[in-house]
Structure formats: C-alpha cells, structure tokens
Structure 1
Amino acid sequence: MSYIQQSFSVQFEYKVYFTEKIFDPANPCFASFLESRAEKGIRKKLLFIVDEGVTEAHATLQEQIAAYCADLENFELVQDVIVVPGGEAAKNDLQLFYWLVNAIDQHAIDRHSYVVAIGGGSVLDLAGYVAAVSHRGVKHIRIPTTVLSQNDSGVGVKNGINYHGKKNFLGTFAPPAAVFNDAHFLTTLDERDWRSGMIEAVKVALIKDAGFFDWMEAHAQQLTQAEPQSLQYLIRRCAELHMAHIGGKDPFESGSSRPLDFGHWSAHKLEQLTDFELRHGEAVSIGIALDSVYSWIKGMLDEASVMRIINLLKQLRLPLYHPLLEIEDENSAIMAGLEEFREHLGGRLTISLLRAIGKGEEVHEMDAAALAQAVNMLRDKW
C-alpha cells in the first residue's frame, strides 16, 4: 500500500467595527476598510442586499449608499440594490436563494468583489450563504441592524438557510471579510426585536462570564428602556465573548460540542412548531429557562441561581413558557428537537447545561420526565 498525504491550515481574520451612521459622508469607517482591500488595476464591485424592514425604517438608505459609494476610487456599486424580505421567511424561501445566486451571476460578481448584506440575522445568514456557494466563495461584508445580529449571529462565521422545516439545514462556515455594527440602526427597531435580542447576552454570560451576568442584573432597568450606553455595552461585551469562543479550538464545529447553543435545542424546535411566530430570541429565552430549571432539578445548579436567572428574564420582559413546550412523553413534539439538534452536528447528543452562573457543563442525555417537570414549573410557578 502507498499513499500521498497532504496537510495545510488556512488562517481567517476579520474585524468587527463599532460605528454610527455608517453611510454618512463624514464617517470614513466603511470607506477606509474598502480602500485597505483595494488592488491596483482592479475595480471591484459591491452588491448590496438589504433587509426590506431596514429600507422601510430608513427611507433614504439606498440614496445614502449610492452617494457614499460614488466617492470610492477603486470600487463600483452595482446599480441594483437588492431588497429582500426580512425575518425567518428569508431563510425559508428557496426561490429567494436561487434569485440571489442568479443576481451574483447577472452582475458578474467575482471573487474579488463583495456582497454587502444589511439587515437582521436571517438576511445576513441568507446573503452569507449565497456568497459562500457562488464561485466557491465570494467575499461578504455584514452590517447587522438588530441587537440579536450585532451581538451574536452577525459577528460569527456561520451562514445558512432552512430546509425541509429544519433550521440551518443548508449552510456553510464562511467568515465575513468584516462586520460593521452601526448603533443608529438600533434606534428604529420594534421593541419586541431589541428586547428579544438581549437574550444571547444572557446566554453567553450564563455559560462563560458570571461578572457579565452580575452587570446585567445591576443594569436591568436601563436595558429594559433601551438606554443607549447600557445597550451598547451589552452588545459589545456579548460580541467579544462570542468571538473569543469562535477563535478557540473548534470554530467550525467539527466536534459535537455546542456551548454557544445553550438553550437552543428546544428553541429551534419551538420556532418551527410556531411557524416562526416566535422570534428567535423569544424561543431562546424559553429554552434557557427550561434548561436552567432542568439543571436545578437534576441537582447541577442551586435554587438561588435558578431564581436569579428567572428573575432577570422576567425583568427583561422575556418569555419563560409557550404551550407548545408541553411534554407528555418522549414522543411529544418538542422532544424531536433533541434528535434534530444531535443530527445537525452528528456524533453524540451534546447539550450544554449549567453547573453555576458563568459555568456551563455538557451532558449527553436528557431525562424526559425531568424535562416535563421543568415545563410544568415554568407554566405554573413563574
């Protein structure tokens, strides 16, 4: 027997910028980044894909983009700014995916060009996937416009769409060229959206940073009022913790460990069962409440810590329960979420629970009776 072996590594690097009014002519942030990527003799194209909800809230955005990009020396704006539906519907529509791939072809967007996505997490996921599979990888830039995408999904390396009713069944690991968190976009968010977006900060604090959780408790009132300074600190710290994890040992999730998905196994299933009427953040809040109470029932977490978690979620006016969470037996609808969660990564079922606030711990099986008890407590006690 003989063989030839190859081994290599690829380094990825990108920055998350924090700015305000990114397309104001007086703001050089976006232009400076692009000019740092300019190449002599090559005029690169910029194709913008924008969340419809963002264009409705910022009526002159397309004109601002056109005026800003007109002053770029080495880049050419594709005239057609593509506007797509926002929310989970963007990830459920295969025809929309194909339409965007065709736009990449129609406008001759090559691997030196950039797809620039502006919107919530769903639009960023869709646009990132479109870019990643076109020409085996067109560069993409993310401009997240929600609390949830600025502190979590928008700063990560995942892209994807839903398929056969399964969340993110089709997707890639393709880091962005850069991320620009523009605080101005948050000023027009619906209250339900900015409130539910805070849950990812609660999540990452619970599994990684007890001090951050303490800070959220102390600033809960300011956060519920969307006080700008507190909200910006929450977004930045949450983004830092997510990026620190991504830069660790398994950024592309080749193993079965998914600590950043604490509370998500039931959340993903709840979203599907409610036909995505529940916001992602609302479903994750319910999932975090469920897994926190379950951790206590199984003797992993003390009662005082459970009460702190429940009280913070209530202070932030986030949900703890939904009727479709009910578990009568192992065949209950929500329990299918465990197998779908395992299937998404393969290998053993791996669920993150809590040993303490700021300390997650992985388990490889879940007790249906204890889960049902936790659901009953969320329904009847809190």
Structure 2
Amino acid sequence: MAVPPDCDSIDCAFQVPFVHRLRFTNDVLGADRDVLADLLEQSGEKPARVQFWLDEHILKAQPDIRERLTALVETYPERLQLAGNVQIVPGGEAVKNDIHIVERMLKVFNAHDLDRRSYVVVVGGGAVLDAVGFAAAIAHRGIRLVRLPTTVLAQDDSGVGVKNSVNLFDKKNWVGTFAVPWGVVNDAALLTTLPDRDFRCGFSEAVKVSLLKSPQVFDDLCRLAPRIAERDMQAAMPIIKASAKMHLDHITKGGDPFEALEARPLDFGHWSAHKLEVLSNFELRHGEAVAIGVAVDCVYSSLQHGLPEEDARRVLQCLDALGLSLDHPALHEPVDLFAGLEEFRQHLGGRLTVTMLRGIGDAIDVHEIDEVAMCEAIATVAEFVQSPGEEVVSRG
C-alpha cells in the first residue's frame, strides 16, 4: 500500500548494548565472596544497596544461609548496604503459580526505596529466579538483578537466560519479560544439599543444548552419565559449565536474544514438556518433563526428519543413565497433550515453529507436526522405558 504524500514514515533500526556477566565459583558465600561483591558495583561514592530474596527450599537445606548472606554485606561496609531483611519465598512452581507473590515483592521493593541502581540478589532454583526476576524487571522498568542459582537446572540453563516469568491461566510463563541479568554466579557449593532427584533432572537441559550445539559435549554426557547420576562432581561440573556457556553463546551471539524471530531452538523438546508439567499438576519437575519431551522429539525426528535411529537410541540411553524417567501417564493423553502445540505457537506468535533434529548438532525448524507419527514416537519411548536394553526406535 502506497504511503499518502502528506505522511511521513520513519523506520530506524537500533541496538542496545548489554553486558552479560557470568561467574563460576566454588564457595561464593565463603572463600569466593569477593566475586559476588565485585559484581555489586557502587553508584558514585554511596554503597550499593542490596536486597536478598531466598528460595525456602535452600533455606531448609542450608539453615545458616540467611546469616551468611547478611554477613557477606557486612564484610564490605563501605561498598555494600543491606536494604531490609533477607526475604523468603516459596520454592518450585508454587512461587510462579500465585501472581500475588509478585505483588508482595513489589511492595517490599517499594518499602525499601530500591531504585534502578539497587541490586536484587536472588538465591534459589529456576522458578524463584523467574519470579523474582520478573518483579525486578517491572519495578522502575528494571532493577539490577543478580542470580545465584541453587539447582543444576538453573545453573546449566535458565540462570543464564534473559527471560523472567510467572504462570497464569494454567499456562507456563504466560506473564513475563525479557531482561538481561546484571550478573549470574554459578557456585558449586550451592548444589551440595540439592536432593538427588533435582540434581539429576537438571542435566536434561544439558542433553538438550548439546544435541543442538555440540556432538562432542553430547558424547561426553553419554560417557559421564552414570557418574553424574551418582553425583560425582568431577564429572558433573564440566558438563554444567559447558551447558551454561552454550546457552550463553546462543543468547549473546545467536542474533535473537529476545525471540523476535519465528524459532526458539533452546526450547527443543519443550512444546510437550510445558504441557506435561501442567497436566501432571506440576508433579513433574521441569527437568523431568524436558527429559520426556527431548526423548519424544528425538524419536519423532528419527521417524520424520532423518535423525539416525542409533542417535535417537543414544539419547534415550543417555537420559536413562542419568536416572531420568521417560514416561508419565500425562504423556498418553493425546488430545490434551497436543493442545500444547497451539500454546507453544501462541507464546511465540506467528506460525507454529518447532525445532527438530536431522543429526546431532544439526537442528531444523518445522512448521507442522504429524500427530500420528508423534503418537508413534510417544509409544516408542514408552516401550524403551519397559525394555531399555532393546532396540526400539523404528517405524514398527
């Protein structure tokens, strides 16, 4: 359509510079405390004002952590100032399923006069990072956020992400923002009290990103999976670090950090995972749902898009060796499950775009899902769970 002669039309592309600060430490609240303190930069000559938000799960596992956080600020009195008491929030999806918790966060920010150069330091699992991060992103249009992830899932994936959100209308992450965190500290000591279930399921995201980005890391994961399942940290930490770096590289170098394009490849396996969480009433952890979703989409990729059957089988075996269950009753509710495809499309907008694999390290975008073939993939994964040693990836 032609522009009328008396109208002006100006399109001006521009870029906003961001810095993503990722640190790896062994004891951030002890011997490595300087690493966190150095992230909390002063504004002029005044001390940086810091407010801590703590996941109740980590408080129960490490009862002295509240005092250790306070002591960290008190160690640097000329540089840091505590803005109120350490705040406690529910852990897991509970913090994301009640939007009134976000309102409480905003009230606390306001009561302590936090501003754009104050710091909200959130210590917890991925759901708590999401919810507190969302509140920080909308207060004053953005308070500086520093994340201290306390789960494998948050350290190897979501903690380095640029998304914040809570759930609404029985839909995952329906309310949220894109906001680059001021800093992220992946600390090994914060993982020590993590329950085995949560430790293991965090590696599903490492499997996912290695399938997309690095055949070598995937090979390492397959080799190290039994040791990781036994919490051998010498095996686990290099994988956590490699996964975090691959996620970070995709965000900072992939050209689409705020998902303005059609595809969101880092959500490989997630169209079903997000729906499975809801259908299971969040009985499934996010990492457990992702393991199932990745397994199903790998088998589907072998049926429809040329992923070698041997590679699909290796994925199932790797996830199994990590101690992850690959089946759940909610997976066998096809009408409800496939509704997740439309929710996935709506979340991004435009036409349906789902990432699949032609090979390990060779991702493609597809715009249609053959529901018959997907049901076959689901059945194949379920058969594998019953007989993991058998060769089950086939068209039947």
Provide the C-alpha distance between the structure 2 equivalents of 1:129 and 1:153, rounded to a whole number of angstroms: 13
Provide the C-alpha distance between the structure 1 equivalents of 2:46 and 2:272, rounded to a whole number of angstroms: 48
Q: 1:213 Cα shift?
A: 0.6
**Residue in 1 that maps onto 2:99:** 94
User: What code does the residue aligned with 2:302 have?
Assistant: W
**Residue in 2 that maps onto 1:60:** 64
Kept in 2: contact 1:327–1:372 (CA 8 A): no
**Residue in 1 that maps onto 2:193:** 188
Distance 1:177 1:299, change over 3 A: closer
**Residue in 1 that maps onto 2:393:** none
The alignment of Structure 1 onto Structure 2 pairs a total of residues equal to 377
Residue 280 (structure 2) pairs with residue 277 (structure 1): no
Residue 19 (structure 2) pairs with residue 13 (structure 1): yes
**Residue in 1 that maps onto 2:48:** 44
Match of 2:364 among 346, 361, 366: 361
Kept in 2: contact 1:14–1:177 (CA 8 A): yes
The two structures, once aligned, show a CA RMSD in angstroms of 1.3
Provide the C-alpha distance between the structure 2 equivalents of 1:320 and 1:56, rounded to a whole number of angstroms: 29
Distance 1:9 1:299, change over 3 A: closer
**Residue in 2 that maps onto 1:375:** 378
**Mapping of residues 1-382 of structure 1, within 5 Å:** 1-3=7-9, 6-24=12-30, 27-34=33-40, 37-72=41-76, 73-247=78-252, 248-326=254-332, 332-382=335-385
Provide the C-alpha distance between the structure 2 equivalents of 1:108 and 1:39, rounded to a whole number of angstroms: 15
Deviations 1:338-372 (A, max 9, x none): 00000000011111111112221110000111111
- Structure 2 counterpart SS, 1:39: coil
Q: 1:75 Cα shift?
A: 2.1
Q: 1:6 Cα shift?
A: 4.6
- Structure 2 counterpart SS, 1:115: strand
Q: 1:85 Cα shift?
A: 0.5
Kept in 1: contact 2:300–2:373 (CA 8 A): yes
Provide the C-alpha distance between the structure 1 equivalents of 2:39 and 2:305, rounded to a whole number of angstroms: 50
Kept in 2: contact 1:25–1:68 (CA 8 A): no
Distance 1:7 1:206, change over 3 A: closer
Deviations 1:244-278 (A, max 9, x none): 10012100000111110110000000000111110
Provide the C-alpha distance between the structure 1 equivalents of 2:358 and 2:267, rounded to a whole number of angstroms: 16
Kept in 2: contact 1:294–1:374 (CA 8 A): yes
- Structure 2 counterpart SS, 1:9: coil
- Structure 2 counterpart SS, 1:55: helix
TM-score, normalised by the number of residues in structure 1: 0.96
Provide the C-alpha distance between the structure 1 equivalents of 2:117 and 2:244, rounded to a whole number of angstroms: 28
Provide the C-alpha distance between the structure 2 equivalents of 1:54 and 1:27, rounded to a whole number of angstroms: 18
Distance 1:26 1:166, change over 3 A: closer
Deviations 1:152-202 (A, max 9, x none): 000111111111111111111101110011100111000000000000000
Deviations 1:202-256 (A, max 9, x none): 0001111101111111112211111111111011000010011001210000011
Q: 1:4 Cα shift?
A: 5.2
Provide the C-alpha distance between the structure 1 equivalents of 2:71 and 2:304, rounded to a whole number of angstroms: 59
Kept in 1: contact 2:227–2:235 (CA 8 A): yes
User: What code does the residue aligned with 2:138 have?
Assistant: V
Between 1:277-286 and 1:355-364, the stretch displaced more is 355-364
Kept in 2: contact 1:223–1:230 (CA 8 A): yes
Provide the C-alpha distance between the structure 2 equivalents of 1:338 and 1:157, rounded to a whole number of angstroms: 23
User: What code does the residue aligned with 1:192 have?
Assistant: R
Distance 1:230 1:88, change over 3 A: same
Kept in 1: contact 2:163–2:179 (CA 8 A): yes
Kept in 2: contact 1:17–1:180 (CA 8 A): yes
- Structure 1 counterpart SS, 2:192: helix
Distance 1:5 1:305, change over 3 A: closer
Provide the C-alpha distance between the structure 1 equivalents of 2:32 and 2:237, rounded to a whole number of angstroms: 22
Deviations 1:315-346 (A, max 9, x none): 11112111211255xxx100000000000000
User: What code does the residue aligned with 1:51 have?
Assistant: D
Structure 1: 5+ residue runs without aligned partners?
A: none
User: What code does the residue aligned with 2:231 have?
Assistant: A
Q: 1:40 Cα shift?
A: 2.6
Q: 1:299 Cα shift?
A: 4.6
Q: 1:28 Cα shift?
A: 1.6
User: What code does the residue aligned with 1:48 have?
Assistant: F
Between 1:17-26 and 1:228-237, the stretch displaced more is 17-26
Provide the C-alpha distance between the structure 2 equivalents of 1:167 and 1:128, rounded to a whole number of angstroms: 16
Q: 1:287 Cα shift?
A: 0.4
Deviations 1:31-54 (A, max 9, x none): 2222xx223333331111000011
Q: 1:86 Cα shift?
A: 0.4
